[in-house]
Structure 1
Amino acid sequence: MAATHTTDRRQVLQAFDDTKAGVKGLVDAGVRTVPPIFHHSPDPHPTSSSSATIPVIDLSARRSDVLSHLKAAAETVGFFQWVNHGVSAGLLAEMLESIRRFHESPKEAKAPYYTRDLTKKLQFNSNFDLLQLPAANWRDTLFCRAFPDPPGQGELPPAMHGVLPEYSGAVRRIAVAVLELLAEALGLAPNRLEEIGCADGVSVVGNYYSPCPEPHLTLGTSRHSDPSFLTVLLQDYDIPGLQVLVTDNGGEEDKRQSVRVVVPPVPGALVINVGDLLQLVSNGKLRSVEHRVVAYGRARVSVAAFVTANLNATTAKVYGPIEDLLYSSAPPLYRSITMPEFLSHYNGKGLDGGPVLDYFRLPHP
C-alpha cells in the first residue's frame, strides 16, 4: 500500500509539473479545492499578534543608533526592516510589477522558461524541490542569477527588460552597506565581509502566490532558512505573508515558547535577514532564522534577492568561520565548505524545515 501510494503521488506530481503552468495554471483552470499534494500538516507554533519583534531601522537616524539596532537584530531575530535606504519607490514598484506581469502572462509565454535544471541562470518553475517534499507549496517562482554575469537582454522575459539590472545593482549596494555595518558590529574591518566574497553574487527570485481557495490547508513557502549571506526582500505592500519564528520573551524563562511573528508590509521598506552562510562565517554570532510564507485568498507577489557567492565562478571558493572571531572559548562551530557543496546539500534536502547548517556543524566534546 505504501509503495502504491508513493507511486501514485509521484505520478500526480509529475503530471502537475508536465503542465509547465504551475499553481497559477490550477487557479486559471478553476480549481475550487487545494489538491492533496499541497496539504501541509498543522503547525505546532502559535502566531503572535505583535510584530514589534521585527525592528524597523531608519537609515536617516544617527549612525551609532543604526549600528546598535542592526547588531541587536542580527544577533537575535535575524530580521529587520530597512527604511530610507535610497532606492526609489518607482524602482521598487516596477520590480514588483515586472514579476506580476511575468507570472500573469499566458501559459504559452512562460512555458519556454520552465525548467528543473538548477544550474541555469534563468529558471521558471513551481517548487524547485517539488519531487522531494511530502507537501508542495502554493507558489510559482522565476529565478535569475542577476550579478555579476546575468542573462543577456534577449534571454530575459520581456516583462523583466530594463528593471532587473537596475534593481539587482541597487540591492547589491544596500547589501554591501549592511555587510560593512555588520563587520563593524563583529569587531572586524568594515570591508572584511565583502572582501571574503559575501556579496560576489546576487540571485533575484520573483515569487507569485496565487489566490488560494483553502489557505488553511497549505503554505506559500514552507519553513526554512536562506541559502545566502544576506537576503533582501521586497514584499507586496498590502498583503502580509512572511512569518518569522522567534522566542517569546514574555513570562518566566522555563515557559517561553517559539511563536511565529508576522512581518508587516511597510511602504518603501526592504526586509533584510541574515542567511545561513553569514551565520557560518560569523561562527554563529549572527543568526539565520527559520521563516515561512502563508497562503492567501488573494494573489501576492514578492521579490527575494539572495546576496551570496558568485554562482557563475569556475573556481570553488572556500568559506569557513572567520579566524578573527575564533578563540579558546569560542572554537569553530562549522567546517569550511564550498558553494557547490552547500547548494548540493540545500537543493537535495529542499525546504523540509530542517536546519541546513546542522549538516556542516563540527562535533564538540
Structure 2
Amino acid sequence: MVEDEKKADENESEYVRTGELIAFDESNAGVKGLDSEVKREFHSRDLSKKVTYFSNFDLYQAPTANSRDTLLSVMEPDPSSQEELPDVCREILIEYSKQVKQLGVTIFELISEALGLQPSYFKEMEYAEQLLLVSNDSLTTSVSHGVLSKREGPRISVACFFRAQDRKGNASRSYGPIPELISEENLSVYRNIDLKDYMEYYYGKGLDGTAALTPFKI
C-alpha cells in the first residue's frame, strides 16, 4: 500500500476530485449563507488574521484579476475561537476541520513510510507545506487540482491546506531537504529557507502560474 502511495505521488500529473471521503454538504451551505453584512465584518487583506474574507488576495501582484470570494480560517495548531467564526458556518467548520485533520494524519503517515521515514515524521514537523522541498523532489511534482462544479448557480469548493503557520516564532524557522534523503547520489535540490522568506515570496508573486519553490533551488 505504501509503495502504491509513492507511485501515485510520482505518476499522477493531474488530479480531479470526483468525491470526498466524507461529504460535507453543510459546509457548502454555510458558505452560501454568508450575507453581505457578514462579509463586510470579516473582510480584510491582513492574512495574519485567523479569520478573513476576501476576493483577490493577490490583487496588486497578479497580472490579471483573479476574483474568487474566499473565507479563510486557521484551524490548527492555534485555532480560531468559536466566537471568531461566522455563526452561519461555525459548527460545521469545527467538525470539518476535525475530520480533515484525521485524514491528513493518515496521508502524511503513508507519505512518510513511502519515503522510508518513520510514520510520524511529517506530523512532528507540523506538516511542512512544501513536500517537494523537504522530500528533495522525491515526490517528483505537485499535481494539478480540479473541482467538479455545476454549470449553473454558485460554484463553491471547500479546500484545506496543511502547512506551517507563520505564528509563534515560526517565521524564522528554517526548512530544507530531509537529511535522511540526501546522499552523494541524491544531492540537495533546494537550499534551506526560512518560512518568512517563502511566505513573502508566495504572496508577493500572486497566482501567476509559476512554482513558488523555483527561486529556492540550488
Label 1:73 to 1:80 Cα distance change in 2 as closer, same or farther (>3 A).
Answer: farther
Shift of 1:72: 1.5
Shift of 1:290: 4.3
1:8-157 equivalence runs, <5 A: 64=1, 67-77=2-12, 79=15, 85=21, 87=22, 89=23, 92-102=24-34, 105=35, 107-157=36-86
For residue 330 of structure 1, give the secondary structure of its aligned residue in structure 2. Answer: coil
Quick check: 1:98–1:159 contact (8 Å CA) kept in 2? yes
The partner residue of 1:299 within 154, 164, 172 is: 154
Shift of 1:299: 1.3
- Quote the Cα distance in structure 1 between the aligned partners of 2:83 and 2:47: 20
For residue 74 of structure 2, give the secondary structure of its aligned residue in structure 1. Answer: strand
Question: Which is richer in helix?
Answer: 2
Gaps of at least 5 residues in structure 2 are: none
For residue 115 of structure 1, give the secondary structure of its aligned residue in structure 2. Answer: coil
AA aligned to 1:166 is E
Q: Which has the larger radius of gyration?
A: 1
Label 1:83 to 1:294 Cα distance change in 2 as closer, same or farther (>3 A).
Answer: closer
Does residue 280 of structure 1 match 2:149? Answer: no
The partner residue of 2:123 within 194, 218, 225 is: 194
Percent identity between the aligned chains?
A: 37
CA displacement 1:18-52 (0-9 Å, x = unmatched): xxxxxxxxxxxxxxxxxxxxxxxxxxxxxxxxxxx
- Quote the Cα distance in structure 2 between the aligned partners of 1:294 and 1:359: 32
Does residue 308 of structure 1 match 2:174? Answer: no
AA aligned to 1:353 is G
Quick check: 2:56–2:68 contact (8 Å CA) kept in 1? yes
Shift of 1:138: 3.7
- Quote the Cα distance in structure 2 between the aligned partners of 1:83 and 1:141: 21
Shift of 1:173: 1.3
Quick check: 2:52–2:73 contact (8 Å CA) kept in 1? yes
Shift of 1:294: 9.8
Quick check: 2:17–2:146 contact (8 Å CA) kept in 1? no
Q: Size of the alignment, in residue pairs?
A: 214
Gaps of at least 5 residues in structure 1 are: 1-63, 199-227, 230-276
AA aligned to 2:155 is R
Does residue 333 of structure 1 match 2:189? Answer: yes
Does residue 356 of structure 1 match 2:212? Answer: yes
- TM-score, normalised relative to structure 1: 0.54
CA displacement 1:238-270 (0-9 Å, x = unmatched): xxxxxxxxxxxxxxxxxxxxxxxxxxxxxxxxx
AA aligned to 2:51 is L
Shift of 1:292: 6.5
Label 1:83 to 1:324 Cα distance change in 2 as closer, same or farther (>3 A).
Answer: farther
**What is the alpha-carbon root mean square deviation over aligned residues?**
2.4
- Quote the Cα distance in structure 2 between the aligned partners of 1:320 and 1:75: 20
- Quote the Cα distance in structure 2 between the aligned partners of 1:304 and 1:280: 22
Quick check: 1:334–1:360 contact (8 Å CA) kept in 2? yes
Label 1:82 to 1:292 Cα distance change in 2 as closer, same or farther (>3 A).
Answer: closer
